[in-house]
Amino acid sequence: MLGGLTEAQIAVALAAALGAAFVRGLAGFGMAILLVPVLGLAVPPREAVVVANWLGLMIGLVGLKKIIGQSERSALVISALAMLATPLGVWLLAVADPALARLLIALIALGSFVLVLLPKRPADHAPSTLETGGTGLLSGVLTGFAGMPGPPVVPYYLRRAIPPQLARASMMTIFMATSIAGVASAMALRVATVREPLLALVLFPAVLLGNWLGHLAFGKVSDSLWRSFTGLVLGISALAALWRLLGS
pTM above 0.95, yes or no: no
pLDDT surpasses 90 at 203:
yes
Q: What region, left, alpha or beta, does residue 4 occupy, with left being phi > 0 and alpha being psi -120 to 50 degrees?
A: left
Give the up-direction half-sphere exposure of residue 81: CA atoms within 13 A in the CB hemisphere.
Answer: 19
| pLDDT above 60 (res 212) | yes
Q: What is the residue type of 27? A: A
pLDDT (tens digit, 9 = 90+) per residue, 83-93? 999 988 888 87
Asked whether the predicted pLDDT for residue 229 surpasses 90, the reply is: no
Question: Domain locations in the chain?
Answer: 7-247
Q: How far apart are CA 200 and CA 203, in angstroms?
A: 5
Over 80: is that where the pLDDT of 247 sits? no
pLDDT digit string, tens, across residues 174-191: 989 988 888 888 888 777
Residue 88 CA to residue 92 CA, distance in Å, equals 6
